[in-house]
Structure 1
Amino acid sequence: MKKFLIVLGLTSAFLMSTLSADALKNSLTNILHTKDSSGMVNLNGVSVGAKPKQRMINQARKSRPASAVIGRYNDGKPVHKREADKYITKATKGKIKDLDLLPKKQRLMVLKDLQRMYAIKHFKSRPAKAVVAIVNGQKIHKKSADHYLKLVTKGKVTDFDKLDKKQRLVLIKELARPIVLQADIDQNLTKDEKEAVLSQAWLQKQRATTKVTNEQMLALYEAKKAKALAVNPQAQIPPYISLGENLKNEIIEKEIMAHLMKNVNITVNFDSNKTVPSSQSNESSEKLDKISDKKETK
């Protein structure tokens, strides 16, 4: 009788263990086969096709307390398990409430999500006057970095401090280029050469913004063609297409100079000598041209 009771007890314990394992399997199967549109937690790593192992069940039962520290935020503040449990519960709409039920890889993903959200929530940008870099002793302020960032991203990103370390370095290198170039110019170019460089840069900028139509270029070509044929009817006139760039540059330069001279106030100070009529001036020039280059004889 005693042996029978012992066998009966062992059999009951075995059946209860089997039923418990089957219940856990069915529970996980129902959770994973229920449609979830949140997309925030990936449960692909959980296998429900095979019978749950006893070790996994024991681990699930030994969940860490809510006060357990599972990581650190970027400011050193601890991340407690209760925060992860709350996040998982919301993300899975109550299907999973315990971080320790997830595989290690998914637990790390949850921790990274919590750290990312914490960083966004507690983000503090530096003031505009803060120095974000120093290039050859010259300070680059955050205001300049923000302005340049806004230009290159077309307004999508306007705060330098929101970039990661690699992106910040790339942007600072871009801002450093004119500083380094200016230092090289100051060291190696004379004043006249600097003015020539600035003038050329200004002209290039004006050329880039000055628009020239095909009608303008064709009109200039026909005018030049007519002038050349008037001088020499047998002249070989290059085709229009071969002179396109030259015609365009000539029109641009004329428009630039016309724009510059438009509002210029010019005052000419004449001397006290009597002005020579243009006709007499031309005659004098012709006479001078006719003087032979002979040695003076006594």
Structure 2
Amino acid sequence: MKKIVVAIGLSSGLLIQSASADALKNSLSGMLNKKEETPAMVNLNGISLGSKPDRVKPKTRSAKAVIATVNGMEIVKKEADNYLSKRTKGKIKDFDLLPKKQRLALVKELALPMLLAEKAKKELSSEEKDAVLSRVWMQKSVAATNVPDEQVRAAYEKIKAQAKAQSALQQIPPFEAVKDRIKLQIIEQQVVAQLLNGAKIRVEPSSDTIAGYVGMMALTIDEVNKALQIRTNGKMTWATLPEKERKRVLQMVAPAKLIALAAKNGLSNEEQDTALANYWMQKKLSRISVTDEEAKRRYEKIKKMAKRSQNKKKLPEYTELEKSLKMQIAQEKFIEKLTKKAKITLK
């Protein structure tokens, strides 16, 4: 089973933005991108550190033994043992010594990333997949690229001079306020320039489906028309575009195509699964509704538990916790729906 270990973050200015709220993304990223931490949205109440196993086996299965399948995908014992050890902070290290209910609870947790990646691959469009993977690849490239402060300052002064020439100096924010944004733009430009370096862009005049090529890669008329729809608010299409403008338009479309190709070749399978799973999960969570009544019932339940535990720490008011309570309930609904139809079998 592939572990999901890489998170998606801020979107590049060249690529599409996330379809759901940042708050959802931030609250869920722990489940997918930090193996060493307990998942925030999954509750493994079934595991009791003090309980006795159904039966103590003289010999447990080997690390390579398949201990469960999830929709036909296998989970081996080594993965379950490692996860269990981290989940219990080293107090329990052998999956086979857990009672059956606890083994099933653990497998359901391990199954979540697999189910998310499986659903994402089936349900996301090719355009969404390209955009998500391109964003992740671009982030990695940006993180690996350094730009000296002097270069950023020089770019800022150039922008400032241009604004001054146009009598718009009062609209330029202070350097410190825009420094990071300018730095990001410089890095993106450098990355795109490297991709375009040596890539020959040419128009294809004799095709009804191909607008042109960037290197050996075809740019379809449909792809170009989608870009023109955005850039010209639907006023222009490839068919109505003057011939002298066609190569310039291909030059604008080419970077996205090259980045998508670089992402597919440059990201590992695990990184791709993570990015797609995260994005698909955000989309689904953004559509789950939680009523005020549900959140208030959850709050009252927490309030009673706090009272029974005689915790001296004051519980925040409902209004302070409302947003996080609704998010938690939405996450639980999401997990229940995701795992309900999954075929999870213990071995």
Q: Is the radius of gyration larger for structure 1 or structure 2?
A: 1
TM-score if structure 2 supplies the norm length?
0.33
